[in-house]
Structure 1
Amino acid sequence: MRYVRYASIAIFAVALILVALANRGLVAVKLVPDELAGLAALNPSHEVPLFVVIYGGIVAGLVIGFIWEWIREHGERVAAARQARELSALRAEVRRLKGEKHEGKDEVLALLDEAS
């Protein structure tokens, strides 16, 4: 199974390298559209290879997706934490009640009853 994973990673790496080699041409990346550049009196533009733009878009999409899911799952994490606290409180209550039940009894019988 480990070799299948390594082979998959190698194939993916080769595909990324091939895409990078095929898209080496420089493109102008502007941070502000031309229509708004006149209002802002600035038009920053950078020449970068196309594969950098492609990979940057993929990475930005992944980061935005991870953040979106983390925010979306916040309610589920809160509910799980609340249930864990309730479970801990209930276990403590059961231990306390078993301790009260076996108060004044033989310790060996109390241990056997607690184990079952």
Structure 2
Amino acid sequence: MRFLRLLFIILLAIVLVAVALANRETVTLNAFPANLGQYLGGKWSVDLPLFLVIFLAVAFGMLAGLIWEYLREAHVRREARNRSAEVARLEREVGGLRERHANPRDEVLAILDKPKTGAASQSTASAGPASGTTLPAAR
């Protein structure tokens, strides 16, 4: 995957350099139509190489698309933030309920949950066969 990414970047760089070399002539970029610019005063045009105009147009288009998508998905992020806060509130509530209702334990559950200490010493001291072994039946 790293190799493919590097290969893509190299190919993109070659294409961009080729476009820049093929479009080096200078063009005049006007901010307003010719008649409107003279009424506003000042110089509303700039001379740039054509490749720079192309690259700036692509960059501006990508920036506009990024901002558009960010604004379009704002409600999704807001809903996710609200859901996350709701999940956190419910987890706190469940934790409080577990603490409150865990104290009065049933005796049977307490016996089952009790750790079995000394089980190893009892199995070696017992006279019967160990569990999982097969011995002939007594006659």
TM-score bucket (shorter structure): 0.7 to 0.9
CA RMSD of aligned residues (A): 1.8
Whole-Å separation in 2 of the counterparts to 1:93 and 1:26: 68
- Aligned pair count reads 109
Q: Describe the SS at the equivalent of 1:60.
A: helix
Unaligned regions of 5+ residues in structure 1, if any?
Answer: none
2:75 match: 75
Q: As a proportion of its length, which structure holds more helix?
A: 1
Tell me by how many angstroms 1:105 deviates. Answer: 4.0
- The TM-score, its normalising length taken from structure 2, stands at 0.72
Matches within 5 A, 1:20-59: 20-59=20-59
Tell me by how many angstroms 1:30 deviates. Answer: 1.2
Tell me by how many angstroms 1:53 deviates. Answer: 0.3
Identity of aligned residues (%): 33
Tell me by how many angstroms 1:5 deviates. Answer: 1.2
Which structure's CA Rg is the greater one?
2
- Residue 9 of structure 2 is aligned to residue 9 of structure 1: yes
* More displaced 10-residue stretch of structure 1: 24-33 or 97-106: 97-106
By relative contact order (CA 8 Å, sep 6+), the higher-ranking structure is 1
Q: Describe the SS at the equivalent of 2:103.
A: coil
* More displaced 10-residue stretch of structure 1: 28-37 or 38-47: 38-47
- The TM-score, its normalising length taken from structure 1, stands at 0.86
